[in-house]
Structure 1
Amino acid sequence: MWPRRGMGLVLAGFLRACWRSWSMMLWFGALSMGLSSGIKASRTKKVDAFTGRLLDIHSKMLEMNKREDIRLGLHRSDYMLDAETNLLFQIELNTISSSFAGLSCLVSELHRNLINHYGKDLELDSRRVPGNTVVSRYAEALAKAWNEYNNSSAVVMLVVQTEERNMYDQHWLCVVLREMHGVASIRKSLAEIDAEGQVLPDGTLIVGGQTVAVVYFRAGYSPNDYPSESEWRARLLMEQSNAIKCPSISYHLVGTKKIQQELAKPNVLERFLENENDIAKLRKCFAGLWSLDNIDVVKSAIERPELYVLKPQREGGGNNIYGDRVREILIRLQQEGSEELATYILMQRIFPTASCAYLVREGICHQDHAISELGIYGAYLRNKDKVIMNDQCGYLMRTKVSSSNEGGVAAGFAVLDGIYLT
């Protein structure tokens, strides 16, 4: 059964001083675009079949000398607030299918409306609920990309899963795109694109008889999205076209944990940013990230597994490894001398403050101790050397019971929530 979406009944409190740090998204947009231009095959290709297939497609684009003059990224940077230091630590950068732009806005407005009606009784001020405009800003970014393509009869194509669980969030974005910008959209699975798609000699992507200006991926981030060669043919077809990909294959690869680990290394940020204060602020938000060829860190994780998270290249909910399983897997991989070590990274585990929360799921309200995770949405669009858009667009707050490790809403681990600045 598909998990039903839930929501927090009482907004999650959040420190105003930490909230101001959401401006970092502007730097992450430029960083992601810069990193995507330098993606190369790595030793993860030898053992991670899924990432290997993505790298194969990327290599073919390099061999073709495929140029992506117009580049669009709709991304989300996720953070947790560390209880001991009151610092925000980044735990993930999502570069493909950053979901809940539609539903997160609705939850924010619902909370604001409830406070307007019952704020005096609750002693809450609706002005402390930050505005959330991500769905309109994402629609604006897609419309601007569509405009850069310069074909008024072309459409935006959402690449969706065959049995899509999050269709209403996607539909909300498409409605705003149509009503505010007059841009039509279509929805196709990877298998449908393989069956109905073609690339004309001039690079134009045609799917179901319609010219596609922008390909917006809401699927394709998981091995489960590629059950046959049909889906891989579709991905390659789109990459070979001159349609604007959101994201392109190289931008998708920036979201892998190994690439994100590179950001924390010395002199990497300096390649993309000049301001030393900006660089220092970014480094301060990075949680500890280590490859498994760091013997000292692996030894520490085996001895104190509760202080680490073992992360594979991909996410999507339910893939991270915690607790005693961290020790078990590390010992097994060491004993086997397995190259599978290269497909994981270790991340510092963040311990946010747990507080009493009321979580509503399937119409039933549950009281529990809960923690929250903040996501900041961003949009980055450029045409050759001209940056057309680089903005923070809104936020996502997810709340889960403190005993749960994973935090995915679509995967059934968390609920959508709002923010109340304290």
Structure 2
Amino acid sequence: MSQQSASSSLPPTLPLRRGDLEGTAALPLLEYHAINQQLLHKIAYDALVWSSLHGLVTGDKSVERSGSVPGVGLVHAPFTLLPASFPQSHWKQACELAPIFNELVDRVSQDGEFLQESLSRTKKVDEFTSRLLDIHSKMLELNKKEEICLGLHRSDYMLDEQSKSLLQIELNTISSSFAGLGGLVTELHKNILSHYGELLGLNSERIPTNTACNQFAEALAKAWCEYNDSRAVIMFVVQAEERNMYDQHMLSLALRERHHITSVRKTLAQIDQEAELLPDGKLYVDGQAISVIYFRAGYTPLDYPSESEWRARLLMEKSSAIKCPSISYHLAGTKKIQQELAKPNVLERYLENKDEIVKLRKCFAGLWSLDESDIIERAIERPELFVMKPQREGGGNNIYGDAVRETLQKLQKAGSQEDAAYILMQRIFPTSFATIFMRSGSCHKNHAISELGIFGTYLRNRDKVIVNEQSGYLMRTKISSSDEGGVAAGFAALDSVYLT
């Protein structure tokens, strides 16, 4: 947290007296920094107990093996003590967009020429995107069609203070995380308000139900059914060191307990060593038939330290197993494709419903390629109004502030094609608010901004759409002075929505 944070460790017990709470109930809605200190500590203590008992945990990076051995070095995930307010009208808008974006990703994924052409300049200067496109090209050459397509997506938004508009940050089509832990924070906040809501002037019923984990598991289970092999398992592709493993294990548990489906966890390197692709396209890993491949790794160059990992990715793509995402779904979620889709008349190539097109365009922020000289000049002059984004996922990759100007001037001076590795995006300025962060057992008062992610599930078998739903949400809150916003990357905390 910033130096402005007010941090305090919690005593083991805090008995309350009636006089300690006087004045609290009269607080204005969501004025969290004015909460009576005695009450604040009591709520925080209860929240830490709840999070420990219900698995709202991650691996502690300071503990060896915490990212590889379950149960070693557990620490509560960073969360906010109380939910963030969000206008009900914008909440409804975000939820209505989810099935439209699901459909758009699926349609774009089927246009191989558009994906290759849109990313052609990027391919020349971005080795990672180039390797992904090579795999996609091989699938086009083989004329391999994905008969069964599964998407577990998350579209992220911020509320722009000046325009009062809900604007999209990005659309995630690979490893859309926190369906598990995000839902737990919703339950935590509902629990807190059921006990303390009357004192705080808050109503737990204003927090929307969040069933993202169960809905993700249900979509995976339905895909497993469509594959139609009762002996096959679902394979989670994971990183060797994963402190966020419990978010993933919640999905595995839901698959086993709710749908009686077995899942296995494998790294890309293990898949390269253990996988066998049969002539009929069936994929076996360590002797087990694989029906669905769910990627929680493979979205960053760091996941491919050698040719072994790239061989595994290609082998899986060649197989008849259902990929979540397929290589075409993965590419459809890149920043460059997001920018291309925002151009005039492009959405009309993929969607027929004019009302849906209007809804999508309404949430698009300004997006530009770096071959537009007038925008480049404006960004150099006013860098604080823009964000530079490379074709990367996972947080910590974007360029802000004076670094935007410096990077653009460096690219201009070099005169190379490296500018194709980036897009420029309008910077969104949401309203900051007072909140209380819980991190490493301590509470920190600070001012913050939030980002709302809406999960979507999509399943299609040939021409039949089986699932197309909005499937829960993820609220992430960070101190207002922070540029980046990833929870796993250490920038933000998990939150939930309080509808106003």
TM-score tier by shorter-chain length is over 0.9
> Offset at 1:179?
0.7
Residue in structure 1 matched with residue 191 of structure 2 by the alignment: 113
Q: Tell me the amino acid that sits aligned with residue 321 of structure 2.
A: A
Q: TM-score, normalised by structure 1?
A: 0.99
Residue in structure 2 matched with residue 268 of structure 1 by the alignment: 346
Q: Tell me the amino acid that sits aligned with residue 412 of structure 1.
A: G
Instruction: Give the Cα–Cα distance (whole angstroms) in 2 for the partners of residues 372 and 309 of structure 1.
Output: 17
Counting only pairs closer than 5 Å after superposition, residues 174-323 of structure 1 correspond to structure 2 as 174-323=252-401
Instruction: Give the Cα–Cα distance (whole angstroms) in 2 for the partners of residues 71 and 136 of structure 1.
Output: 19
Residue in structure 2 matched with residue 363 of structure 1 by the alignment: 441
> Offset at 1:338?
1.7
Instruction: Give the Cα–Cα distance (whole angstroms) in 2 for the partners of residues 270 and 59 of structure 1.
Output: 25
Counting only pairs closer than 5 Å after superposition, residues 10-159 of structure 1 correspond to structure 2 as 10-21=82-93, 22-38=95-111, 39-41=115-117, 42-159=120-237
Q: Tell me the amino acid that sits aligned with residue 251 of structure 1.
A: Y
Instruction: Give the Cα–Cα distance (whole angstroms) in 1 for the partners of residues 401 and 416 of structure 2.
Output: 21
> Offset at 1:296?
0.5
* Residue 2 (structure 1) aligned with residue 61 (structure 2): yes
> Offset at 1:318?
0.5
> Offset at 1:274?
2.2
SS at match of 1:165: coil
> Offset at 1:272?
2.3
Residue in structure 2 matched with residue 325 of structure 1 by the alignment: 403
> Offset at 1:386?
0.5
**Percent of aligned positions with the same letter in both sequences?**
66
Instruction: Give the Cα–Cα distance (whole angstroms) in 2 for the partners of residues 338 and 410 of structure 1.
Output: 34
> Offset at 1:387?
0.3
> Offset at 1:165?
1.8
> Offset at 1:334?
0.4
Deviations 1:18-77 (A, max 9, x none): 011111011000000111111225121111000000001111111111111000010000
Instruction: Give the Cα–Cα distance (whole angstroms) in 1 for the partners of residues 393 and 212 of structure 2.
Output: 22
Residue in structure 1 matched with residue 471 of structure 2 by the alignment: 393
Instruction: Give the Cα–Cα distance (whole angstroms) in 2 for the partners of residues 2 and 343 of structure 1.
Output: 31
> Offset at 1:376?
0.2
Instruction: Give the Cα–Cα distance (whole angstroms) in 1 for the partners of residues 498 and 336 of structure 2.
Output: 34
Counting only pairs closer than 5 Å after superposition, residues 320-359 of structure 1 correspond to structure 2 as 320-359=398-437
SS at match of 1:157: strand
Deviations 1:203-250 (A, max 9, x none): 000001100000000000000000001000000010010000000001
Counting only pairs closer than 5 Å after superposition, residues 165-180 of structure 1 correspond to structure 2 as 165-180=243-258
Residue in structure 2 matched with residue 404 of structure 1 by the alignment: 482
The total of aligned residue pairs comes to 422
Deviations 1:82-106 (A, max 9, x none): 1112211001000000000100010
Across the aligned residues of Structure 1 and Structure 2, the Cα RMSD in angstroms comes to 0.9
SS at match of 1:366: strand
Instruction: Give the Cα–Cα distance (whole angstroms) in 1 for the partners of residues 448 and 488 of structure 2.
Output: 18
Q: Which has the larger radius of gyration?
A: 2
Deviations 1:114-165 (A, max 9, x none): 1011111111111100000100000000000000000001000000001112
Structure 1 spans left out of the alignment, 5+ residues: none
Q: Tell me the amino acid that sits aligned with residue 395 of structure 1.
A: Y
> Offset at 1:2?
2.8
SS at match of 1:40: helix
Q: TM-score, normalised by structure 2?
A: 0.83
Residue in structure 1 matched with residue 72 of structure 2 by the alignment: none
SS at match of 2:315: helix
Deviations 1:184-204 (A, max 9, x none): 100000000000001011100
Instruction: Give the Cα–Cα distance (whole angstroms) in 2 for the partners of residues 78 and 251 of structure 1.
Output: 17
Instruction: Give the Cα–Cα distance (whole angstroms) in 2 for the partners of residues 2 and 301 of structure 1.
Output: 37
Residue in structure 1 matched with residue 40 of structure 2 by the alignment: none
Instruction: Give the Cα–Cα distance (whole angstroms) in 1 for the partners of residues 236 and 355 of structure 2.
Output: 38
SS at match of 1:18: helix
Greater than 4 Å deviation, 4+ residue runs? none
Structure 2 spans left out of the alignment, 5+ residues: 1-59, 63-74
Instruction: Give the Cα–Cα distance (whole angstroms) in 2 for the partners of residues 18 and 2 of structure 1.
Output: 36
Instruction: Give the Cα–Cα distance (whole angstroms) in 1 for the partners of residues 61 and 396 of structure 2.
Output: 15
Instruction: Give the Cα–Cα distance (whole angstroms) in 2 for the partners of residues 208 and 43 of structure 1.
Output: 39
Instruction: Give the Cα–Cα distance (whole angstroms) in 2 for the partners of residues 173 and 77 of structure 1.
Output: 20
Instruction: Give the Cα–Cα distance (whole angstroms) in 2 for the partners of residues 214 and 60 of structure 1.
Output: 21
SS at match of 1:326: helix
SS at match of 1:242: coil
Deviations 1:356-387 (A, max 9, x none): 11000111100011000000000110000100
